[in-house]
Amino acid sequence: MEDIVKGIGLLLEFQNILLILSGVLIGVLVGALPGLSSPMAIALLIPFTISLDPVAAIAMMAALYCAGTFGGSITAILINAPGAPPAVATALDGYPMAKNGEPGRALGLAAVSSVFGGVFSLIVFIFAAPLLAKLALEFGPAEYFGLAVFALSMLASMSGKSSLRNLISGLVGVLIGTIGIHLTTGVERFTFDIPDLEEGIHFVPVLIGLFAVSELFKQSEKLNAVVERIQAKALRLPSLLELKKLKYTILRSSGIGTFIGILPAEGSTVAAIIGYNEARRWSKEKDKFGKGSPEGIVGPEAANNAAAGGAMVPTLALGIPGSGSTALILAALIMHGFRPGPYLISETPEFVYAIFGAMLIANLGFLFIGLVGAKFFSLVAFIPKKLLWPAVFIFSMIGSYSFASSMFDVWVMLAAGLVGYFMDRHGFSAAPLVMGLILGKLVEESFSQSMIIHDNNFFALLESPVVLLFFVLTFLSLSSPFWTKFFSKK
């Protein structure tokens, strides 16, 4: 209890509240702009928040993350162009409802269910994260290695076209993490006699390149796309009677979203799609789906926002990112000198509660911003791409450069952007690569330490029941396409 009060106390400084609200505003704005995404905004924000107090910096990013998920639904509903991937399912019924003359109602349903999903997952977070961290404190290097391997295997089921390519991307990320001086022996690896590579590749330019610059190249293909907008004067909150009718759908989706969010590597998009499908499956009015069903809006919205909170559980408790955005928050934590994982919660619990508080404020903040600013946010989607993307590139350049005042990092950013663009074209997602990059150090360190402890006998690792459990889970995760097919046939 004392830690919760301390955590809230950390947040209550005027500067911190202001930064959280700025995070919410940027999040909704970025979410509402098709092409821009929360991971991209967080990646761009990291270098500029390095000089801030860690609580303020991480709280701002967490707020942006929560609000970005909701922001995507505004354009999904009003222009049928989901601002962010998690809002894809919202467009299926949100846009038809808006077309039927009820855009305010659609936005209101999305906002209220998002807030509910978000708050629900935060309540789970506040209880689950310390429990999980307590459990993880018992972990040794072998258990951590098992956990990291399991987390990497979960990359296979991340959104994207191909599980195999997601895994390759993840492992390439781990491989990139080996560039630089080997910590144990001091030997240079893959440095090609380039001094800038000795301390490894910095996270920031890679993240900015993969998320922002590669998207710029993609957008340069469709600069003249025309979108049709439905006028929304204001957001209309649903009545209590309507909420009563939808309570089971919202509750179910919040549970689904939180659970999926907690799973390593599973993000809001997967949660939203499952939330939508389950809402349809349990609905008494299945025929209304696709034509503006309220259940079709609250189902995915509660789920995608709940996944945002859920994803923070493994991120903070285990140091294993729950999604692309949380991988970036994890990178920011590392850059601020923290050691994400169980020690973060056991040694600085007030910091974790401050993040919880920031996400709570963000959830209430975007409801308020949605109420007063839905009309404005639907307009931002019409900022000409020909002006918006040069601005994004300028921010990307400054962000990459300012992190270490190095032009080499700007080149890394451009190279990452080019690689990201061609990866996407050929079905390789960028998010698994980022997660692999962030997990890379943990994988190698825990692998080396376990090998040393067990005299280079890999099979000795399996003597630990926890490692065995993680390896079984890894096997189940990798073979899931086969057994899910087998059971669905039955």
Partner 1 sequence: MKNQKNAPKGLGALLNKNDTIIAILLTLIIAFLWFETTKFEKVPALFSNNIPPEMFPQILLIIILGMVLIIPFEHIFLKRNGKNIDSSRKTRVANSTIGTMMILSIIIASSQILGAALTIIAVSILLPIYWGERRLKVLIPYVVGFPLFVIVLFNIILGVHFEPGLLDLIKS
Cα 453–chain centre separation: 35
CB 452 to partner 1: min, Å: 5
* Residue whose token pair is 């080019």: 418
Q: Quick check: 312 and 267 in contact, CB under 8 A? A: no
Select 316 or 461, whichever has its Cβ closest to partner 1: 461
DSSP 432: H
3-class DSSP state of 462 = helix
Q: By C-beta, is 82 or 94 nearer to partner 1?
A: 82
d(C-alpha 420, C-alpha 428), whole Å: 8
Tell me how far apart the alpha carbons of residues 239 and 111 are, in angstroms, rounded to a whole number.
Answer: 13
Beta carbon of residue 59, minimum distance to partner 1 (angstroms, whole number): 19
Partner residues linked to 181 by β-bridges: 188
Cβ closest to partner 1, residue 168 vs residue 466: 168
Q: Which letter, b or e, does each residue of 314-345 get, where b requires 16 or more Cβ atoms within 10 Å of its Cβ? A: bbbbbbbbbbbbbbbbbbbbebbebebbbebb
Q: What's the closest the beta carbon of residue 252 comes to partner 1, in angstroms?
A: 26
Give the span between the Cα atoms of 109 and 264, in whole angstroms. 29
Least Å distance between CB 217 and partner 1?
5
**Cβ at position 118, least distance to partner 1 in Å:** 30
Residue 16 identity (one-letter amino acid): N
Helices and strands (H and E) in the chain: how many? 21, 2
Which chain residues interact with partner 1 by CB under 8 A? Answer: 48, 161-162, 164-165, 167-168, 171-172, 174-175, 178, 182, 184-185, 187-190, 192, 213, 216-218, 220-221, 223-224, 384-387, 389-391, 393-395, 397-398, 401-402, 405, 407, 410-411, 414, 418, 421, 424-427, 444, 447-448, 451-452, 456, 481
Q: Looking at beta carbons only, is 84 or 213 nearer to partner 1? A: 213
Q: Token pair for residue 11?
A: 């947040």
Least distance in angstroms from the C-beta of 185 to partner 1? 5
Which is nearer to partner 1, 100 or 484 (by Cβ)? 484
**236 vs 385 by CB, closer to partner 1:** 385
For residue 465, count other CB atoms closer than 10 A to its CB.
9
Task: Find the shortest distance in angstroms from Cβ 50 to partner 1.
Answer: 11
Contact 7, 357 (CB under 8 A): yes
Contact 85, 99 (CB under 8 A): no
Q: CB within 8 A of 20, min separation 6: which ones?
A: 11, 59, 60, 63, 358, 361, 362, 365
- Least Å distance, CB 381 to partner 1, is 17
Give the nearer residue to partner 1 in terms of CB position, either 139 or 389: 389
Alpha carbons 325 and 24: distance in angstroms, whole number: 15
The sign of the dihedral angle between the CA atoms of 199, 203, 206, 208 is: negative
Residue 393 tokens, joined: 């590139």
| First vs last C-alpha separation in the chain | 50
Q: What would you report as the CA-atom Rg of the chain, rounded to the nearest whole angstrom?
A: 22
* In the complex, least distance from residue 332 CB atom to partner 1, rounded to whole angstroms: 17
Nearer CB in complex with partner 1: 134/425: 425
Nearer Cβ to partner 1, position 185 or 231? 185
Alpha carbons 324 and 430: distance in angstroms, whole number: 9
Give me the least distance between CB of 64 and partner 1, in Å please.
Answer: 18
Q: Which is nearer to partner 1, 356 or 389 (CB)?
A: 389
Minimum distance between the CB of residue 417 and partner 1, rounded to whole angstroms? Answer: 8
CB closer to partner 1, 131 vs 164 = 164
